[in-house]
Amino acid sequence: MLKNIRIARAYNSDHQIALTEKVAHDAQTQNIKLVIVDSLTSHFRAEYSGRGELAARQQKLNHHIHALLRTAEVSGVAVVVTNQVSAKPDMFFGDPTAPVGGHVVAHASQTRIYMRKSKKTSRVAKVYDSPVLPDSEAVFDIATSGIVDVEE
């Protein structure tokens, strides 16, 4: 099964975009079913810092996200992206983290799942924005046997 998995590491935002274009091209002739982008915004945040570059960063990120959406629509490929969160130091109640990428990422995502650590080795996956799923959460562990449900 592992021979059917391809991994590509992007070294900057332009390279990440180029890899997306390659996947879109390859999906036309190859049996690609799933694309995972592990940290959608990481390179964009590193390369565009400060308020002065925010508009340029968001435009470039928006272009990239829509290329991924087109690939999903045209080729029937499932696209999963991970994203970073940042702290909101002015928040006194509730969760002080917020997803990076603002409205560009929020509006382009069909279903958003927030994952966090729980007790001991457990994790919590919370659906908090989906047109087809109710807000809910699941607690799980990742074990050598796979993903295991945890009762809290």
131 and 98, same structural domain?
no
pLDDT at 92: 74
Backbone angles phi, psi at 104, to 5 degrees: -60, -50
| Whether the predicted model's global pTM rises above the 0.85 cut | no
| 152 pLDDT above the threshold of 80 | no
The CA distance from 8 to 55, in Å, is 28
148 and 77, same structural domain?
no
117 and 92, same structural domain?
no
139, 149 in Cβ contact below 8 A?
Answer: yes
The CA distance from 37 to 57, in Å, is 18
The domain in which residue 140 lies consists of 110-152
| 72 pLDDT above the threshold of 80 | yes
Q: Write the CATH number for 13.
A: 3.40.50.300
Look at residue 80 and give its three-state secondary structure: strand
141 and 85, same structural domain?
no
